[in-house]
Amino acid sequence: MATKTKKLSLTDFPEKEKTVGNIDVKVYGETSYENQMAVLSHWLHNHRRETTKEEQVEIIDAIRDFLSRKEFRQKIDIDEMTDGEVLMAAEDPAQYDLFSQFFNVPFPSPDNPKFTFIDLFAGMGGFRIAMQQLGGKCVYSSEFKASAQQVYLANYGEMPFGDITKESTKRYIPDHFDVLCAGFPCQAFSAAGARKGFADETRGTLFFEVARILKEKRPKAFFLENVEGLVNHDRGRTMRIILDTLRSLGYKVSHRVLDASDFGVAQARRRIYIVGTIDKEVSLDDFPVRRATVGDVLEHGKPLSDNRITKLLLKKFSLDELYGKSIKDKRGGGDNIHSWDIGIKGETTKAERTLLDKMLTERRKKKWAEQWGIDWMDGMPLTRKMIASFYAGKDLDKLLESLVKKRYLVYEHPKKRVTKKTEGGVSYNVREEDESKPRGYNIVSGKLSFDISKILDPNDVSPTLVAMDMNKLYVCDNGGLRRLTLREGLRLFGYPEEYVLGMSERDGYDLLGNTVVVPVIKAVAERLINGISKQNN
């Protein structure tokens, strides 16, 4: 006998308070809560749009659940309200003061919008800030990651809908809006489509969802952002399919790789921007260049780090000497400080450091692979005979023995490339030690797993910030070293000072490393919106 599925509501889940900005977020750990919050918050901000009967039922349920929470029970008797009265309460939230938390946010929508847009793969809402600054109103947002949803709610008063690949999420997209915005992830496309169009070649990718929405809703324009690697991804095939697909949908498409450091942002971040309108290509050439440095975004007087590696660095170098330095053993050159330079595993002599510096460069040369008789790899072990060919000192054996003992070098077999297959028959390559070959000496670690990866130069721009590395970026402050703060990270992406990022550093860095650069989005969007306006006149 089939059992009837119980209808879930907000009150079915144990509440856990989490305050983000001005909004008390209820974390239930269930997707039904996020979805109901998305339904409710989108309705509050866009209640004048037409809805189907099915949508109205869902909206009324979400409002009833919200109003039935304990803080409202003394103000209003939900059980006695008709559906029409429930909708009226939501349509005039100021009258009842029931929904003020959804409007008392840093970035409210403009009162008299010039255009409308939807925000897909919304992340922290970098697209939304830029588009609102230009007079746009967001009428739909979608974001899968829970931490991004909470931050989005705190800053814009809307909980984004979740997984855009699901029909239950896409059905909330309104029929009419002007611009589709999306910072969609880069994915490889199947070769099975044989160039028959996006339905065959892009199916199963997130770009397919973007293309499908463009085809069904026919907005006046779109604005896409992605990593620079998209240009050459899969030998250029991915980019070619994307452009062909967009053009096949009837859009005039422009694209350009732009660097955030040219737009007044102190970060070298190259991304590809793709825009399109129905009638005319939008030029992405000749943007005015504005410059900024890391020093422009730094806070001062923040707590300093006092870990072992900072002590070693400050013992060996002055702050000026640390500007722009990376802490790693993967490369040579003057921009890198190596483990042996500061004695992380023990003090080294000048001769030992000279040998290690030379080996660090030599081990990357392809000629050694030929001598080993194996496929080349970046960073190969070298035999004593190989090392003696570029190091003529008589103390070589003594140095090698000492460095192995101190664990700066490891004595190991070279690695051969071995092809394996998954259970599904997909081939992949791995590296395994070839014990038939003699052992050689190799640098122990390719990249140090220590607290610091790079110390930013206040007189320069930062490198491209990525989620996995942001918590290891350090700056100089008040005679010492400390981690980059979340506020400084927000400034390196051009976010306004009012932006709320009320979460742990770990979660904040994760979101920042994947967000867009607001000033670049605004500069490109301004041309796109102007292009639409001219076409309408």
The three state secondary structure string of 485-529 is CHHHHHHCCCCCCCCCCCCCHHHHHHHHCCCCCHHHHHHHHHHHH
Res 59: pLDDT = 82
Res 76: pLDDT = 67
pLDDT at 26 over 50: no
Confidence of residue 2 (pLDDT cuts 50, 70, 90): very low
**What is the tens place of the pLDDT at every residue in 433-474?**
999 999 999 988 654 467 898 999 999 999 999 988 888 999
Compute the mean pLDDT over every residue in the chain, rounded to the nearest whole number: 85
For 510-530, letters b (16+ CB in 10 Å) and e give bbbbbbbbbbbbbbbbebbbe
**Do 462 and 472 touch, CB atoms closer than 8 A?**
no
pLDDT at 325 over 60: yes
Q: What percent of the chain has pLDDT over 70?
A: 85
Confidence of residue 516 (pLDDT cuts 50, 70, 90): very high
Res 199: pLDDT = 47
pLDDT at 358 over 50: yes
Joined together, the tokens standing for residue 445 give: 């670690």
CA triple 392-397-401, angle to 5 deg? 135
What integer is the mean pLDDT of 8-36? 52
pLDDT at 146 over 70: yes
CA 513 to chain centroid: 4
pLDDT at 304 over 90: yes
Res 22: pLDDT = 53
**Do 404 and 340 touch, CB atoms closer than 8 A?**
no
Joined together, the tokens standing for residue 66 give: 């919200």
Res 163: pLDDT = 87
Q: Parallel, antiparallel, or unpaired for β 17-20 and 136-141?
A: unpaired
Q: Which of the residues are catalytic?
A: 186
Confidence of residue 71 (pLDDT cuts 50, 70, 90): low
Cα 367 to Cα 356: distance, rounded to the nearest angstrom: 19
For 22, residues 6+ apart whose C-beta sits below 8 A from its C-beta are 101, 104, 105, 154, 500
**What is the tens place of the pLDDT at every residue in 238-261?**
889 899 999 999 999 999 999 999
pLDDT at 4 over 70: no
Joined together, the tokens standing for residue 47 give: 């209640």
**What is the tens place of the pLDDT at every residue in 185-234?**
776 554 433 344 444 455 557 888 999 999 999 999 999 999 998 888 87
Q: What percent of the chain has pLDDT over 90?
A: 56
